C-alpha cells in the first residue's frame, strides 16, 4: 500500500468512533468497493493498524478475517495482505464460507469476553464448596427485566440445553409435548428420539394461533412450548392481544399444562414479548439464551418462573449434581449490565435486521416468496421442491437448512431455512442463487 493509501485507511478508521470489528470491516470494505483502495494495494500489518488507530489487535484480526471471507482481501506469507480486484472477488466462495445453516453469530458483532471473565472472577465465593444454581449477581442482573414475577431462577448451559431441561422437567417420558411451529432446528428430532409424542401448533405474525392451541389442549399435553420472541418465526412475535387470547384458551382448558417459553433471541430482540407467566406464574418458565448475543463460550442460559418446575429442571440436570461455574454466571451478569456491551448489541441487532430485510427485499425483487419475523434468526424461502433446492445450493457450496426439520408435518409448499446472523450485507448474489434453487425440481427414475 502506498503512503497515501495507508494514510487514507488510517484516517478513515480513526474517524470511526465505534471501534468494533464490524465497523472496521465496513469502513475498509467501503474504501475497497469505492475504489479508494485499489487492487493490489498492500494493507498495513495488523499491529500497525491497531497502534495507529487505537484498536485492539483482536478487533483488526476479526475485521480482516471477515474481509477475506468476502473475497475483498487476501493474505500470503511473503506479500502480506493485499486488496483483491473486485472483478476477481469470488462471491460463491465468500457465501460458502458463511454459516447459513446453524445460525452461528457474526463473531465480529460480539463483545470481547476478556473483561467479562475478569469481572466473573471478582467474588468472595470463588472456589468455595457447594453449588450456586444461580449466583446472586446473575439473579440481580435478570430479575428486573424478566417478563413476569418469577418464583425462582436457575442457570444452565446454552439455550438448547435449558430448553430441553425445562421440557424434561415438565413432561414424563412418552407423554405429549405441544410445540409452536416452526421450531428450533434439531428440537423435534431430539424430542422424538427421547420418546415424546409431538403435536404442532400453527402460528402467524402475532404468535401461536388460539384455535390451534385449543385443538392441542384437547389432547391434554404435559407441556406447551411457545416462542414469544419468535426466534424462528415466519411472521412476527407474540402480541399483547394474542397473549391475552392464548391465556383465555388456557384458562378454559380441562387441564392447564406446563408452559415453557423459548427465548432463543435474548438481548438481540427488538423488544421483549409478553409472557403467559403473567397469567400462570406457577405453571410457566421462560428459558432465555444469551449465546447468540454474547458468544457461544459464555455457555449460560437462565431459566426463570415456577419454583416447582425450576427445581425439577435442576434435578433433571444430572440429579442436581451439575451447576454452571460461578465465573461464567458472573461474567454473564457483567455482560447484561455493561453499557459498552449494550451498545455493541444494539449495533448487532441493527445489522442483523438490515441483513434480514435486505435478503427479503432482494428475494421479492426476483419474485421469490420469503418471510421472517421481526426477531427471527432465520429467513424462510418458499421452494417448489425442498430436496432439489438444497441440492442446487450445495452445488455452489452453500448449505442452508431443511424446512421440514422445523415442522411436525412437512409444510406445503416446501421451504428452506436461511440463517440470518452471517448473511452478507449485500444480498443480491445470494438472492440470485436462492431464486434459482426455489424453482428447481428433482425427479428420480429407476429402470
Instruction: Give the model confidence (pLDDT) of 7-30 as tens digits.
Output: 788 888 888 777 888 888 888 988
Tracing cell 421479492 back to the chain, one arrives at 364
Q: What is the DSSP string of 278-330?
A: GT-TTTEEEEE--HHHH-GGG--EEEEE-HHHHHHHHHHTGGGT----HHHHH
Inter-residue contact 236 to 207 (CB < 8 Å): yes
Q: Looking at residues 214-234, what average pLDDT do you find?
A: 97
Which grid coordinates belong to 174? 412418552
CA 130 to chain centroid, in Å, comes to 33
Helix H or strand E segment including 381: strand 378-383
pLDDT of residue 444: 56
Query: In the Cβ-directed half-sphere of 238, how many Cα atoms lie within 13 Å?
Result: 27
Check residue 87 and report its DSSP letter.
G
pLDDT at 90: 53
Confidence (pTM): 0.81
CA count, 13 A, side-chain hemisphere, 105: 23
Tell whether the model's pLDDT for residue 47 goes beyond 60. Answer: yes
- pLDDT score of 93 more than 60: no
Q: What domains can be seen in the chain, in order of their start residue?
A: 5-83 (1.10.10.10), 98-106+342-439 (3.90.1150.10), 113-337 (3.40.640.10)
End-to-end CA distance of the chain: 62
Higher pLDDT: 130 or 160? It is 160
Could you tell me the sign of the dihedral formed by the alpha carbons of 337, 354, 108, 16, in that order? negative
Lowest mean pLDDT among 62-71, 92-101, 287-296, 391-400: 92-101
Assess whether the previous peptide bond of 170 is cis (omega < 30° from 0). no
Query: If we measure between CA atoms, which residue out of 49, 34, 35 comes closest to residue 81?
Result: 49
What the block records as the C-alpha cell of 14 is 480513526
The shares of helix, strand and coil residues in the chain, as percent rounded to the nearest 5, are 45, 15, 40
The percent of residues in the chain predicted with pLDDT above 70, rounded, is 95
Q: What number is the average pLDDT over the span 391-401?
A: 91
* Average pLDDT value for the chain: 90
Burial of 129 (0-12, 13-18, 19+ CB in 10 A): exposed
pLDDT score recorded for residue 237:
96
pLDDT tens-digit profile of 183-202? 988 899 999 999 999 999 99
Q: Which residues contact 389 (CB under 8 A, 6 or more apart)?
A: 381, 383, 414, 416, 437, 438, 440
Instruction: Identify the three-state secondary structure at position 243.
Output: helix
Contacting residues for 157 by C-beta, under 8 A, at least 6 apart: 299, 300, 301, 324
pLDDT digits (tens, 9 = 90+) for 226-251: 999 999 999 999 999 999 999 999 99
58-88 pLDDT, tens digit per residue, is 889 888 888 887 778 888 766 688 888 776 5
Is the pLDDT at 253 greater than 60? The verdict is: yes
Give the pLDDT of residue 2. Answer: 52
Taking the CA atoms of residue 279, residue 280, residue 285 and residue 291 in that order, the dihedral angle to the nearest 10 degrees is: -10
Q: How far is CA 227 from CA 190, 202, 266, in A?
A: 18, 12, 12
Q: Where is pLDDT greater, at 345 or 29?
A: 345
Give the residue, 277 or 102, on which the prediction is more confident.
Answer: 277
Q: At what angle do helices 159-170 and 187-194 cross, to 10 degrees?
A: 40
Distance CA 324, CA 133 (A): 7
Other beta carbons less than 10 A from residue 250's beta carbon: 22
What percentage of the chain reaches a pLDDT higher than 90?
64
CA dist 280 and 302 (Å) reads 19
12-27 as b/e, with b when 16 or more CB fall inside 10 Å?
A: bbeeeeeebbbbbbbb
Model confidence pLDDT, tens digit, residues 353-371? 999 999 999 999 999 999 9
> How much is the pLDDT for 130?
79
Amino acid at each position: 500500500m502506498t503512503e497515501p493509501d495507508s494514510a487514507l485507511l488510517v484516517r478513515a478508521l480513526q474517524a470511526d468512533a465505534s471501534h468494533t470489528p464490524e465497523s472496521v470491516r465496513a469502513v475498509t470494505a467501503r474504501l475497497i468497493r469505492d475504489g479508494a483502495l485499489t487492487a493490489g494495494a498492500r494493507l498495513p500489518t495488523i499491529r500497525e493498524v491497531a497502534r495507529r488507530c487505537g484498536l485492539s489487535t483482536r478487533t483488526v484480526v476479526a475485521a480482516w478475517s471477515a474481509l477475506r471471507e468476502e473475497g475483498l482481501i487476501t493474505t500470503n506469507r511473503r506479500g502480506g495482505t493485499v486488496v483483491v480486484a473486485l472483478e476477481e472477488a469470488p462471491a460463491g466462495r465468500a457465501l460458502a464460507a458463511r454459516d447459513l445453516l446453524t445460525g452461528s453469530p457474526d463473531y465480529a458483532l460480539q463483545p470481547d469476553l476478556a473483561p467479562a471473565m475478569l469481572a466473573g472472577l471478582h467474588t468472595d465465593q470463588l472456589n468455595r464448596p457447594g453449588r450456586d444454581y444461580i449466583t446472586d449477581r446473575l439473579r440481580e442482573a435478570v430479575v428486573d427485566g424478566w417478563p413476569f414475577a418469577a418464583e425462582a431462577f436457575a442457570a444452565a448451559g446454552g439455550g438448547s440445553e435449558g430448553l430441553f431441561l425445562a421440557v424434561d422437567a415438565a413432561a414424563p417420558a412418552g407423554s405429549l409435548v405441544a410445540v409452536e411451529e416452526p421450531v428450533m432446528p434439531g428440537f423435534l428430532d431430539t424430542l422424538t428420539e427421547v420418546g415424546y409424542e409431538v403435536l404442532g401448533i400453527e402460528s402467524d405474525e402475532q404468535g401461536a394461533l388460539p384455535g390451534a392451541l385449543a385443538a392441542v389442549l384437547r389432547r391434554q399435553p404435559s407441556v406447551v412450548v411457545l416462542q414469544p420472541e419468535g426466534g424462528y418465526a415466519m411472521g412476527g412475535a407474540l402480541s399483547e392481544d394474542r397473549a391475552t387470547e392464548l391465556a383465555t384458551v388456557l384458562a378454559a382448558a380441562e387441564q392447564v399444562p406446563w408452559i415453557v417459553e423459548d427465548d432463543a433471541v435474548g438481548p438481540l430482540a427488538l423488544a421483549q414479548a409478553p409472557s403467559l407467566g403473567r397469567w400462570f406464574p406457577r405453571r410457566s418458565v421462560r428459558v432465555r439464551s444469551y449465546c447468540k448475543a454474547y458468544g457461544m463460550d459464555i455457555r449460560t442460559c437462565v431459566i426463570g418462573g415456577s419454583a416447582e418446575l425450576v427445581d425439577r429442571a435442576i434435578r433433571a440436570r444430572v440429579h442436581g449434581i451439575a451447576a454452571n461455574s460461578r465465573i461464567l454466571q458472573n461474567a454473564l451478569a457483567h455482560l447484561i449490565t455493561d453499557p459498552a456491551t449494550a451498545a455493541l448489541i444494539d449495533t448487532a441487532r441493527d445489522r442483523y435486521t438490515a441483513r434480514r430485510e435486505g435478503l427479503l427485499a432482494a428475494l421479492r425483487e426476483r419474485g421469490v416468496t420469503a418471510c421472517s419475523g421481526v426477531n427471527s434468526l432465520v429467513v424462510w424461502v418458499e421452494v417448489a421442491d425442498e430436496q432439489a433446492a438444497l441440492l442446487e445450493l450445495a452445488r455452489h457450496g452453500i448449505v442452508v437448512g431443511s424446512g421440514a426439520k422445523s415442522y411436525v408435518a412437512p409444510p406445503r409448499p416446501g421451504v428452506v431455512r436461511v440463517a440470518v446472523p452471517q448473511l452478507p450485507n449485500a444480498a443480491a448474489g445470494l438472492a440470485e442463487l436462492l431464486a434459482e434453487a426455489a424453482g428447481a425440481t428433482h425427479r428420480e427414475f429407476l429402470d
